[in-house]
Amino acid sequence: MRHLVDTGDEVTATFFREVPVWHPTHGLNIKRESLDVCSAAACLDLIDRVAPDVVYHLAGMAFVPEAEDNFLNALNLNVVGVSNLIRAVSLVGKKCSFLFTSSAEVYGHFLPEQLPLNESHPVKPLNNYSLSKAMAEMVLGRYASDSLRTVIIRPFNHIGPAQDDRFVVSSFARQLAEISMSRRDSVLRVGNLSAQRDFTDVRDIVQGYRLAALLGSGVYNFCSGEAVQISRMLELLIEQSGVAATIEVDNTRLRAVEIPVLYGSALKAKKELGWSCKYSLAESLRDAYQFWLMILQR
């Protein structure tokens, strides 16, 4: 939202829950609307009133274990939600770009020699979360037309400030911030540190969303193109924070299905959209850590 306002776009932002006062959207010059995407009537009413040129659809369940626990809930948020919103756009009938944030998780199975994954890699989702994202991509296919351009983004792992601390790097950053403020003992609890993932700063990703909505069509990977081991991310975070901590493996943080190495190719986004990443890993990790310091000091 901040990026859109900065570029001069007129923004109507939808919220489901009340936003905490530290939320990055506070003070922004945007129109605010309450919306539950699971309500078809509410989506139709809003789209009819706002008549948007572009819809950035980011609402959804984003945490893999949550979708494993309740598939129907994941389908309601991630599939029916998308269907309600794009159906509303389709019914209102105004020319519109519809951007949907899917996930690199939809690729599922691959062989090491197929890395980096590009957009033509077959989709074979292996958990309820990625199933729901791949299903939502199919829903878009139903409504795409000459006047309703659809764009699907498959981002790889996100990092940066204001991330939910159920995600690995934000969890590390929060724990380090708590240790530095003596809010906890100096033990940092971690899951699998050996996995290698492809991390992109959320601020680079949102710039890509706008480029894709204006210039793109079809599917785009958003990623750095490089795999970094989680243990390396932790090292860099500790460096940025200057906090001394003991590392302890917590079995409850280990996921059932672990893919050892995953990274993608964003060549299509670079070529067609001119998109590239501006933030270094060190900057992203520093800002993630600073975010938690700011939150904890409130």
Q: Does 64 bind its own copies (CB under 8 A)?
A: no
Helices (H) and strands (E) in the chain, counts: 11, 12
Tokens of residue 252, six digits: 């409850």
Could you say which of 5, 28, 44, 126 contacts its own copies (CB under 8 A)?
126
Q: x-or-dash pattern for its own copies, window 23-42, by CB under 8 A? A: ---------------x----
- Which region, judged by CB under 8 A, interacts with its own copies, from 19-27, 57-65, 134-142, 261-269? 134-142
The secondary structure of residue 70, as a DSSP letter, is -
Q: Does 188 bind its own copies (CB under 8 A)?
A: no
Q: Is the peptide bond before 20 cis (omega within 30 degrees of 0)?
A: no
Shortest distance, position 88 Cβ to its own copies, whole Å: 13
Binding to its own copies, residues 91-110 (CB under 8 A): 108
- Which region, judged by CB under 8 A, interacts with its own copies, from 56-64, 96-104, 137-145, 180-188? 137-145
Q: Does 75 bind its own copies (CB under 8 A)?
A: yes
Q: Does 125 bind its own copies (CB under 8 A)?
A: yes
Which residue number, 135 or 153, has a Cβ lying nearer to its own copies? 135
Which residue number, 103 or 127, has a Cβ lying nearer to its own copies? 127
Q: Considering CB under 8 A, how many residues would be counted as binding its own copies? A: 21
Please report the beta strands in the chain, taking only residues with DSSP state E, as ranges in sequence order: 12-15, 31-34, 54-57, 96-101, 148-155, 157-159, 187-190, 196-197, 199-201, 218-222, 228-229, 246-249
Shortest distance, position 152 Cβ to its own copies, whole Å: 14
Q: Does 124 bind its own copies (CB under 8 A)?
A: yes
Q: Does 127 bind its own copies (CB under 8 A)?
A: yes
Bridge partners, residue 228, by sequence = 197
In 3D, which of 142, 34, 37 has the Cα closest to residue 90? Answer: 142
Distance CA 128, CA 136 (A): 12
With beta carbons less than 8 A apart as the criterion, state whether 254 and 185 touch.
Answer: no
Binding to its own copies, residues 201-220 (CB under 8 A): none
Which residue do the tokens 């007129």 mark?
10
Q: Does 255 bind its own copies (CB under 8 A)?
A: no
Q: Does 128 bind its own copies (CB under 8 A)?
A: yes
Shortest distance, position 48 Cβ to its own copies, whole Å: 20
In 3D, which of 206, 190, 109, 199 has the Cα closest to residue 158? Answer: 199
The secondary structure of residue 183, as a DSSP letter, is S
3, 44, 99, 148, 214 from 217: Cα distances, Å:
21, 24, 9, 11, 9
Tokens of residue 239, six digits: 């460096």
Which residue number, 5 or 144, has a Cβ lying nearer to its own copies? 144
Q: Does 83 bind its own copies (CB under 8 A)?
A: yes
What is the binding site for its own copies (CB under 8 A)? 38, 71-72, 75-76, 79-80, 83, 108, 124-128, 131, 134-135, 138-139, 141-142
